[in-house]
Each structure stands twice: as structure tokens, then as C-alpha cells.
């Protein structure tokens, strides 16, 4: 197994291996990638604030579905399309990654507002926990508390694959009317499942950090900073959504 392998579908070894061949005047750096991550976070928050405000304005006027749903649906579909384009065409990432961030922000803003309307304050808790986990995992990785070796990678990749299969199974079974409520209600079993998914999403951050650091050491081209930032955002958004879901389950038990 390659030392730069990641379970993040955006950060596959083949993509970085192809990008690393050749001579480039400007090469990828970790600091440059961090700057791109910060910019993408700003774009997500800016776009999310727009649909967040639209949500509460539309609630007051009674036009929720007609006002905000097109923005959320457009953001979700647009984000998916741009993610696929970015994965298959990393060289386009300086253009597609920022737009991806905007699209995801439009979706997350409306979705977060709907959760916050039911459970006031839950969004700030989810955001706080997401960033706390981000910095905790970064510290654990840089300090050597978490060592990204072959055994660690294999375990996280296998668990992430299992979660993906679980997602797909619940979706397919739901289409045939099979009730998978135990995975989405506020039971202890459902909360345990969410805790496990949050833990695996968090561990994926360590793989992403290692992947970007090793790829920068290999001298990947400059545009891969945007691609690396895109990969981190994919994991962060997944982590945030799972934390939001977990907190909603816990809040509904009160």
C-alpha cells in the first residue's frame, strides 16, 4: 500500500502520483494548502449565511419551499457535479474547488437553519465541535500521538468503506419500504451508530493531513494545493453533518 493512500475519495494516490511527475517551477506546499482551506471555509460560511438568512425570512412569510428549496437543491446537485469534475480533473481544481465550496455552503446554510429552528443553538454547537475535532486531530497528527502507518490506514479505510455501504443499503432498502428507523431515531443504538461515524470521520482527517504533507514533499504541482484543500473540505463537511445529526438525536431525547 502506498504511503500516501487515503480513504477520502478526493485524495486518491493515483491522482497525486500522476500530478507529481514532471518538473514544476511552483510546487505544492502545506502552508499554501492551508491558505486554500481557509479561503474555502470563508466561501462556505458566506454562502451558508445567505441561505440561513433566507430560511428565517421565508419562514416569516410562509414561503419556505418556494424561496429556499431551489437554492438548497441547486447547491446540493451543483456541489455533487463539481466534486466529480474536480476528482476526475484535478487540474481544474483552482476553479472548481471554490465554486464547490459556494454550492455546499448554499446547501448547508438552509439545512443548518432547519435544524436550528427545531433545536435552537445546535448549529453553533456542531460548528464548535467540528473545529475542535479538526484542531485536536491536527495536534494529534503533528505531535505523533496518532501515527499514520499501514495498519492505521487499513483500519480507517475499511471502516469508511463499511459506512459507505451502510449509507447505500439504508437508501436502497428505504426505496423498497424497508424501515431502517433504528439508524435514524433517537435510540441508544442510533446514537451509538452516529458516534462511531463521527469517530471514523475524525480519523479520516489524520489520513488527509498525512496525504497532503507527503504529497507536498513529493513536489506535486501548485494547483494541487486547491485539490488538497478540496479533499479536506469533503471530510470536514461530512464530519459537520454527522455531528449535527448526532446532536439532534441527543437533543430530541430531552
Task: Quick: pLDDT tens for 154-172.
Answer: 999 999 999 989 888 887 8
Nearest-CA neighbor of 96 among 86, 84, 106? 86
DSSP letter assigned to residue 220: -
Q: What is the pTM of this model?
A: 0.87
* Interval 110-130 mean pLDDT: 94
Which residue is it, cell 435510540?
Answer: 187
* Interval 199-208 mean pLDDT: 95
Between 195 and 63, residue with greater pLDDT: 195
**Is a pLDDT exceeding 50 seen at residue 125?**
yes
Which residue is it, cell 469508511?
Answer: 160
Q: Indicate the range of 27-31, 109-113, 139-143, 176-180 predicted with least confidence.
A: 176-180
Q: Indicate the range of 13-27, 99-113, 214-228 predicted with least confidence.
A: 13-27
- Quote the CA–CA distance of 241 and 254 in Å, as a whole number: 21
The predicted pLDDT at position 137 comes to 96
Between 78 and 14, residue with greater pLDDT: 78
Using CA atoms, how far residue 82 sits from 62, 226, 239, in Å, is: 32, 13, 20
Name the band, by pLDDT with cuts 50, 70 and 90, for residue 219.
Answer: confident
Name the band, by pLDDT with cuts 50, 70 and 90, for residue 21.
Answer: very low
- Quote the CA–CA distance of 121 and 237 in Å, as a whole number: 19
The predicted pLDDT at position 67 comes to 77
The predicted pLDDT at position 113 comes to 92
Dihedral over alpha carbons 149, 155, 157, 161 (to 10 degrees) = 180
Nearest-CA neighbor of 220 among 29, 28, 11? 28
Question: What mean pLDDT is reported for the chain?
Answer: 87
DSSP letter assigned to residue 221: B
Q: Are 192 and 138 in contact (CB under 8 A)?
A: no
The predicted pLDDT at position 182 comes to 66
Amino acid at each position: 500500500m502506498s504511503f500516501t493512500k487515503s480513504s477520502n475519495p478526493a485524495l486518491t494516490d493515483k491522482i497525486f502520483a500522476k500530478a507529481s511527475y514532471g518538473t514544476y517551477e511552483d510546487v505544492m506546499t502545506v502552508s499554501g494548502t492551508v491558505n486554500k482551506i481557509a479561503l474555502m471555509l470563508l466561501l462556505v460560511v458566506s454562502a451558508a449565511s445567505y441561505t440561513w438568512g433566507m430560511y428565517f425570512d421565508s419562514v416569516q412569510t410562509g414561503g419556505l419551499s418556494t424561496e429556499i428549496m431551489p437554492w438548497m437543491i441547486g447547491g446540493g446537485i451543483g456541489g455533487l457535479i463539481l466534486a466529480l469534475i474536480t476528482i476526475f480533473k484535478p487540474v481544474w481544481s483552482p476553479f472548481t474547488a471554490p465554486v464547490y465550496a459556494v454550492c455546499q455552503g448554499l446547501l448547508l446554510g438552509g439545512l443548518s437553519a432547519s435544524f436550528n429552528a427545531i433545536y435552537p443553538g445546535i448549529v453553533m454547537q456542531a460548528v464548535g465541535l467540528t473545529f475542535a475535532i479538526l484542531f485536536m486531530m491536527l495536534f494529534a497528527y503533528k505531535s505523533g500521538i496518532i501515527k499514520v502507518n499501514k495498519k492505521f490506514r487499513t483500519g480507517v479505510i475499511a471502516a469508511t468503506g463499511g459506512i459507505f455501504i451502510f449509507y447505500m443499503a439504508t437508501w436502497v432498502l428505504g426505496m423498497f419500504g424497508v424501515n431502517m428507523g433504528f439508524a435514524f431515531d433517537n435510540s441508544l443504538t442510533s446514537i451509538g451508530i452516529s458516534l462511531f461515524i463521527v469517530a471514523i470521520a475524525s480519523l479520516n482527517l489524520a489520513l488527509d493531513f498525512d496525504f497532503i504533507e507527503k504529497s507536498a514533499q513529493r513536489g506535486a504541482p501548485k494547483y494541487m494545493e486547491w485539490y488538497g484543500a478540496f479533499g479536506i473540505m469533503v471530510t470536514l463537511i461530512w464530519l459537520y453533518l454527522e455531528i449535527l445529526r448526532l446532536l439532534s438525536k441527543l437533543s430530541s431525547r430531552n
